[in-house]
Amino acid sequence: MTVSSLSSRSSAEPDKGFFPGLAASTLITTGLLILVGGVVRVSGHGLGCPDWPLCYGRAIPPGLTGAWVEFTHRLVSMAAGAQIVLLGVLAWRRHRGEKWIWRPALAAVALLAAQIPLGGLHVIMENPPETGLVHTALAMLILGCLAVVAAAVLPVGDRLQKAAARQLARGRLAGLISLLAVLSYLLVLTGSLVTRRGASLACPAFPWCGAAATQLTDIQMLHRLTALAVAGLALVVIVLIGRRAPATPLSRFAQLLLGLLLSQLALGAANVLLRLPLWTRVLHLTVAAAWWAAVAILWTVVSRGRSLARADTKPL
């Protein structure tokens, strides 16, 4: 076994201190922030606080429903932001030797630095679709970075990584998972484009459009075709994991992915067939965020597992 292999094994050992708990908490809080942001948007309270960073010129908003819905989003964003910054500082101080930890942690901090003023600009400009789309894109990138950190430091990530190193060292599965991650991110962006452009009901039927071609139907069908590509590739990945790593934590994680995938497809159909009830819209965004984070975790453990397996096979 080479020195690089020993180093890889050492970096793969789970951290037993405060940092893993912080990584998990930050990931959960950021997911909660996306959920609350979805509630703000679909409930029509995006301008509940018409100014920024204050609300009606006050640190504590007046007793208006819309103001408090929006203010709750700001409170959760402050909690998530503080955790992200602390995670980045500790990653740099304690885990500078592990690129899978400090790089995504600092990337999340950098993205947060862009996200905060963008959120203020979005309010000041009265929620234009362009800033809303970029706001969603950055939020999902932050969530993805935090998922990578969590996968690298949590014990469950270590178990998944060991299963990946043993079972998936060969073959093209890692490449398929990388492609799945890219397509999943694009799916989130096309979904945001649909809502920001008002194309959610441009196609009144499902799975076909059921309407004449327009710019809005093109946007809606782009989202549906991207979802079809993600679903098809995800099923291939899930089946391959089940065959190559049966009865392992990795196969159980693949089953979780399958559950998320089926739930998201059902929610997407319900959005159209039920004509956009609030609960399906909020859940659709929330499950999309959970799917994206889960795919990022899978990509991380498989990529790190393959690196570990390759190091082990190098000659002395």
Residues 226 and 291 in one domain: yes
Nearest-angstrom CA–CA distance, 24 and 146: 8
Q: Which domain holds residue 216?
A: 159-316
Predicted local distance difference test score (pLDDT) of residue 15: 52
Residues 197 and 68 in one domain: no
The contacts of residue 160 (CB under 8 Å, 6+ apart) are: 151, 249, 250, 253, 297, 298, 301, 305
Comparing CA positions, the residue from 109, 51, 285 lying closest to residue 187 is 285
- Hey, what are 27's tokens? 């990931």
Residues 147 and 256 in one domain: no
Backbone phi and psi for residue 208, each to the nearest 5 degrees, phi listed first = -80, 170
Residues 222 and 124 in one domain: no
The contacts of residue 267 (CB under 8 Å, 6+ apart) are: 280, 283, 284, 287
**Last-in-domain residue among 153, 171, 194:** 153
**Last-in-domain residue among 116, 133, 153:** 153
- Hey, what are 180's tokens? 């799945």
Residues 89 and 227 in one domain: no
> How long a stretch of residues is the chain?
316
How many CB atoms within 10 Å of residue 156? 16
Q: Does position 191 have pLDDT exceeding 80, yes or no?
A: yes
Residues 107 and 216 in one domain: no
pLDDT tier at 174, thresholds 50, 70, 90: confident
pLDDT (average), residues 49-53 = 90
Residues 134 and 9 in one domain: yes
Residues 39 and 187 in one domain: no
Nearest-angstrom CA–CA distance, 225 and 228: 5
Q: What is the pLDDT of residues 120-139, one digit of tens each?
A: 898 889 889 899 999 999 99
pLDDT tier at 310, thresholds 50, 70, 90: low
Alpha helices per DSSP H over the chain: 3-12, 18-42, 65-94, 99-124, 129-153, 155-167, 173-196, 215-244, 249-273, 278-313
Residues 107 and 163 in one domain: no
Residue 173 CB-half CA count within 13 A = 28
* Torsion sign across C-alpha atoms 228, 260, 281, 191: negative
Q: What is the pTM of this model?
A: 0.90
- Hey, what are 103's tokens? 């790089």
**Last-in-domain residue among 113, 129, 153:** 153
Residues 60 and 169 in one domain: no
Q: Does position 203 have pLDDT exceeding 90, yes or no?
A: yes
* Residues of the chain above pLDDT 90, percent: 68
pLDDT tier at 312, thresholds 50, 70, 90: low
Q: What is the pLDDT of residues 83-109, one digit of tens each?
A: 999 999 999 999 998 999 999 999 999
Q: How many domains does the chain have?
A: 2
Q: Does position 311 have pLDDT exceeding 80, yes or no?
A: no
Q: Does position 276 have pLDDT exceeding 80, yes or no?
A: yes
Comparing CA positions, the residue from 288, 298, 293 lying closest to residue 254 is 298
Residues 195 and 306 in one domain: yes
User: Would you give the distance in Å from CA 72 to the centre of its chain?
Assistant: 21
Which residues, listed in sequence order, are joined to residue 58 by a DSSP beta bridge? 55
Residues 246 and 302 in one domain: yes
